[in-house]
């Protein structure tokens, strides 16, 4: 299916939490679909925003220790390159729709959501339908994106 439809599979998160057989299946599926470019399916398994930031920092520190990076070279761009979400062309969502009435991020995409617009809905995900989705998009379209800048 993935090959026929041109879908690339990427699994982000701490793969060590998966069983060894599942790790092999995931690795094989990612390898077999890495050249597909029509769509990308990203599955977050064992993922947390804190984990992603820690593993990115560890990777940067390892490169610095090995002499591949100088301390002065470390910046946001270098850290972003090491995040698990760097597997996608568009790692920064424009809109996050949070269902179930929760008003928190739940440790999800902490770095990537810096300039994301949020939409909260009290419905549970299975009950969030077309009408609610259109309402979320309408709300998003009415916003003035500032990307961290103040009102002028």
69 three-state secondary structure: coil
The rounded Cα 37 to chain-centroid distance in angstroms is 18
Q: What is the CA angle 80-86-88, rounded to 5?
A: 145
Give the per-residue pLDDT at 88: 81
pTM (global) more than 0.85: no
Q: Which helix (H) or strand (E) holds 130?
A: helix 130-141
Query: Any idea how long the chain is?
Result: 152
Beta bridge partners of 95: 117
| Per-10-residue mean pLDDT, the chain, length 152 | 88 90 95 93 89 96 97 96 87 89 92 93 93 95 84 69
Contact (Cβ atoms closer than 8 angstroms) between residue 7 and residue 29: no
Q: Name the token pair of 50.
A: 């804190």
Give the per-residue pLDDT at 124: 93
Q: Which helix (H) or strand (E) holds 41?
A: strand 39-44
């Amino acid at each position: 299916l993935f090959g026929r439809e041109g879908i690339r599979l990427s699994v982000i998160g701490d793969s060590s939490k998966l069983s060894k057989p599942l790790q092999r299946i995931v690795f094989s599926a990612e390898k077999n679909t890495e050249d597909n470019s029509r769509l990308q399916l990203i599955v977050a398994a064992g993922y947390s925003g804190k984990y992603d930031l820690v593993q990115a920092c560890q990777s940067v520190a390892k490169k610095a220790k090995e002499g591949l990076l100088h301390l002065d070279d470390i910046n946001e761009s270098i850290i972003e390159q090491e995040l698990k979400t760097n597997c996608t062309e568009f790692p920064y969502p424009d809109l996050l729709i949070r269902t179930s009435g929760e008003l928190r991020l739940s440790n999800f995409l902490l770095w990537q959501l810096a300039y994301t617009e949020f939409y909260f809905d009290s419905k549970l995900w299975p009950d969030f339908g077309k009408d609610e989705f259109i309402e979320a998009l309408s709300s998003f379209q009415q916003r003035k994106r500032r990307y961290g800048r103040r009102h002028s």
